[in-house]
Amino acid sequence: MSEQPEIRKGLNGVVADYTEVSKVNPETNSLLYRGYPVHELANNVSFEEVAMLLWNGELPNEEELQEFYDAARSRRVLDEELIGVIEAMPKDCHPMDVLRTAVSFLGTRDPEKFTPDSDHIRDIALTLLAKLPTIVALDIRRRRGEGYIEPDTSKGYAENFLWMVFGDGEGSPATIASDIEAFEKSMILYAEHSFNASTFTARVITSTQSDTWSAVTGAIGALKGPLHGGANEFVMHNMVAIGDPAKTEEWTLNKLKNKELVMGFGHRVYKKGDSRVPTMEEAFKKLASEHPEKDGAKWVEMYDIMAKTMYENTSINIMPNLDFPAGPAYYILGFDIEFFTPLFVMARITGWTAHIIEQFENNTIIRPLAAYSGPAERHVPGAPET
């Protein structure tokens, strides 16, 4: 008998390649972007500086940052044709479908999409960093029956996005410094996470020498799933459905009893807690205390009960992942739940494209093997023997 190959379902524990982009260390519960701890970045630099770090390997100096701001901010605007494509999509389709289609459409207009040149990939990355927030904001507003708000190049990344979604009326998060700060932190925390499913998808597509638009379109598809980015939406749908701190423990225990997943908990790599959670949890709890009118205290109480119940009632002490605090934080900021994953895309585009560049610059096609477990060779009835 031939030796059975070792199968690692879900590639669990398989080290597929080297990367210089980020390091996830479950033992020390840390995440480094190009060597910098993610919580230090979240508390000290802008999301645009993090994008530059991920793409170039170093934080920018003042002059480089100014140049980057000028280049990125001037690309925020959408042309009429793209707006028309977005407007033509059904208002009840998932917003991730709109993003996926918009990115794919942008790719159809790129005459150089197959240029074997990492400068071109960087150029696409910059365009997507700049335009994705405008696409998401337009989609949010059209579903609410509200008109398109043009991007404002004088505003920073987070402020501009919140302004394009909510305008600058009273109570808009675009007018509240701490809301802007919380949103920017979430973008930094979501920016990069090594060989997760969507990033790996982008790398696989890039490894075939396909173009960056295709790689990002595929990554958006992978991120949409509830076991990956889609979890932040399910977190909030669950919290809204439970609706009452007094019912939270029982709801969670029932899920566990029925062997159902509780979204926003667990992680393929972190088994002792997700390194990004403490920073996002702090931002969420601060937002909650500043927004009693959005039931902040209730969501915090439910959050704490659910986390405690999961920890105490699972044999492996399952802890929250980033989606757990991000979900209610986005809800308090006023986002519609089905847009939580598109917000994740706006952030993760930086990590995806950093990996696309890395894969492109040192490429081998990604093509694993499979152990065949179907029927033994057989023949079509009546087929002549060969």
Does 343 bind ligand COA (CB under 6 A)? Our answer is no
Nearest distance, CB of residue 328 and ligand COA, angstroms:
14
Catalytically annotated residues: 267, 323
Stretch in the footprint of ligand COA (CB under 6 A) among 48-56, 317-325, 334-342, 369-377: 317-325
How far separated are the first and last CA of the chain, in Å rounded? 27
Does 348 bind ligand COA (CB under 6 A)? Our answer is no
Out of 261, 297, 337, 366, the only residue in the binding site for ligand COA (CB under 6 A) is 261
Out of 160, 186, 248, 321, the only residue in the binding site for ligand COA (CB under 6 A) is 321
Tokens of 289: 């205390």
Q: Which is nearer to ligand COA, 133 or 266 (CB)?
A: 266
**Residue matched to tokens 């959005």:** 294
Q: What one-character DSSP code corresponds to residue 155?
A: S
Stretch in the footprint of ligand COA (CB under 6 A) among 19-27, 155-163, 261-269, 331-339: 261-269
Q: Which is nearer to ligand COA, 203 or 267 (CB)?
A: 267
Q: Which of residues 226-245 bind ligand COA (CB under 6 A)?
A: 227, 231
Q: Measured between alpha carbons, how far is 245 from 253 in angstroms, rounded to an integer?
A: 14
Could you tell me where the beta strands, DSSP code E, fall in the chain?
22-25, 30-33, 36-37
Out of 140, 182, 242, 262, the only residue in the binding site for ligand COA (CB under 6 A) is 262
Q: How far apart, in Å, are the Cα atoms of 74 and each of 81, 83, 247, 267, 347?
A: 18, 17, 49, 38, 19
Q: Which residues contact 89 (CB under 8 A, 6 or more apart)?
A: 97, 98, 101
Does 333 bind ligand COA (CB under 6 A)? Our answer is no
- Amino acid identity of 160? N
Q: In what order do the strands lie in the sheet with 22-25?
A: 22-25, 30-33, 36-37
Nearest distance, CB of residue 231 and ligand COA, angstroms:
4
Contact yes or no for 305/249 (Cβ under 8 A): yes
Q: Which is nearer to ligand COA, 318 or 354 (CB)?
A: 318
Tokens of 184: 């920017």
Closest to 200 (Cα-Cα) out of 212, 190, 215: 215
Longest dimension (CA), the chain: 80
**Residue matched to tokens 């930086």:** 350
Distance of CA 54 to the CA centre of its chain: 15
State the Rg of the chain over Cα.
Answer: 22
Does 77 bind ligand COA (CB under 6 A)? Our answer is no
Does 263 bind ligand COA (CB under 6 A)? Our answer is yes
Nearest distance, CB of residue 10 and ligand COA, angstroms:
6
Nearest distance, CB of residue 113 and ligand COA, angstroms:
31
Three-state SS for 213-260 is HHHHHHHHHHHHCCCCCCHHHHHHHHHHHHCCHHHHHHHHHHHHHCCC
Tokens of 90: 């059904």
Q: Which is nearer to ligand COA, 267 or 285 (CB)?
A: 267
For 42, half-sphere exposure in the C-beta direction (CA atoms, 13 angstrom radius) is 26
Nearest distance, CB of residue 271 and ligand COA, angstroms:
6
Nearest distance, CB of residue 341 and ligand COA, angstroms:
11
Does 267 bind ligand COA (CB under 6 A)? Our answer is yes
Does 223 bind ligand COA (CB under 6 A)? Our answer is no
Does 133 bind ligand COA (CB under 6 A)? Our answer is no
Stretch in the footprint of ligand COA (CB under 6 A) among 86-94, 258-266, 346-354, 376-384: 258-266
Out of 211, 323, 338, 358, the only residue in the binding site for ligand COA (CB under 6 A) is 323
Which spans of this chain sit near ligand COA (rule: CB under 6 A)?
Answer: 227, 231, 261-268, 316, 318, 321, 323
